């Protein structure tokens, strides 16, 4: 007669691993498609006010010597109050910055901003992120099959082992992809176009979400491996207990 590990306990551990893996998948897709991996400001010179435009984001210049280049030069060199901080945010795909005195944003492809020597690393980061998401999706599908697949313990263990390998590999790829993007962004800050380089910047919520996805992925992998190991140990223990009980019942010689 087959020996089975308690189904309720198995299903509880499988549900925990599935929930963590699914959460990791949602976080990774959200972060990958957003443009808030990094946020900051650029210091740009204020434009001259035109028409009815007023406020602190433009320079009012009504001098009769408007055509005098020296007067204009003097206006631009009066200090930091003649500059304005323009907010920007950037992701894997594009970078956007606000438009002064107008609503909306102006976006550019982040790939076009990256130095030519680092674009290969950026594309490798993008490919690795896609593989990370694909492996996470594969792990989620395997875990859902395991939860709904009522068969022998051995079949469940095979699916469990494969999902553990896939999830661990996904976590390693995710870590490498996030680190490569971090390196590329820092190189773009130092060597990118002059009209894009930020004055101040920091990592945004998408970057934090990407690393939260990695943390959930590794937690799912640990939970899956722990479930596999515990199931094996319980299976061996019950098998050994059954063997002892049969030996006592039929009084087999040692």
Domains, the chain, in order of start with CATH, read 7-34+115-194+202-239 (1.20.140)
CB 206 within 8 A of CB 30: yes
Ordered DSSP codes for 170-224? HHHHHHHHHHHHHHHHHHHHHHS-TTT--SEEEE-HHHHHHHHHHHHHHHHHHHH
**Long-range Cβ contacts of 238-241 (<8 Å, 24+ apart):** 238/3, 238/5, 239/3
Per-residue model confidence (pLDDT) at position 248: 61
Per-residue model confidence (pLDDT) at position 243: 58
Per-residue model confidence (pLDDT) at position 76: 45
CA angle 216, 221, 223 (to 5 degrees): 90
Q: At what angle do helices 153-191 and 205-250 cross, to 10 degrees?
A: 160
Please state, in angstroms and rounded to a whole number, the distance separating the CA atoms of residues 90 and 242. Answer: 62
Model confidence, pTM = 0.77
Nearest to 185 by CA among 197, 172, 176, 195: 197
Tens place of pLDDT per residue across the chain (254 aa): 344 445 566 677 788 889 999 999 999 999 999 999 999 888 776 665 665 555 555 655 554 444 554 444 444 445 556 667 788 899 999 999 887 766 778 888 999 999 998 899 999 999 999 999 999 999 999 988 887 765 666 777 788 888 899 999 999 999 999 999 999 999 999 888 888 888 888 999 999 999 999 999 999 999 888 887 877 776 665 666 655 565 565 554 54
Find the helix or strand (DSSP H, E) in which 165 lies.
helix 153-191
Please state, in angstroms and rounded to a whole number, the distance separating the CA atoms of residues 186 and 179. Answer: 11
Per-residue model confidence (pLDDT) at position 245: 61
């Amino acid at each position: 007669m087959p020996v089975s590990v308690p189904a309720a306990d198995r299903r509880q551990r499988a549900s925990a691993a599935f929930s963590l893996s699914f959460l990791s998948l949602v976080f990774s897709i959200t972060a990958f498609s957003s443009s808030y991996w990094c946020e900051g400001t650029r210091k740009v010179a204020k434009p001259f006010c035109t028409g009815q435009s007023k406020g602190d984001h433009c320079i009012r210049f009504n001098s009769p010597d408007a055509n005098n280049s020296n007067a204009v030069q003097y206006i631009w060199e009066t200090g930091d109050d003649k500059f304005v901080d323009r907010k920007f945010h950037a992701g894997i795909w594009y970078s956007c910055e606000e438009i002064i005195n107008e609503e909306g944003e102006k976006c550019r492809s982040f790939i076009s901003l990256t130095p030519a020597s680092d674009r290969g690393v950026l594309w490798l980061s993008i490919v690795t992120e896609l593989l990370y998401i694909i492996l996470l999706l594969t792990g989620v599908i395997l875990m859902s099959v395991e939860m709904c697949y009522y068969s022998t313990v051995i079949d469940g263990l095979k699916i469990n082992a494969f999902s553990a390998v896939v999830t661990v590999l996904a976590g390693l790829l995710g870590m490498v992809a996030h680190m490569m993007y971090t390196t590329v962004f820092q190189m773009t800050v130092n060597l990118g176009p002059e009209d894009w380089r930020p004055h101040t910047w920091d990592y945004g919520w998408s970057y934090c979400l990407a690393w939260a996805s990695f943390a959930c992925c590794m937690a799912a992998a640990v939970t899956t491996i722990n479930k596999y190991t515990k199931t094996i140990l319980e299976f061996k223990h019950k098998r050994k207990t059954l063997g002892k009980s049969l030996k006592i019942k039929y009084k087999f010689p040692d």
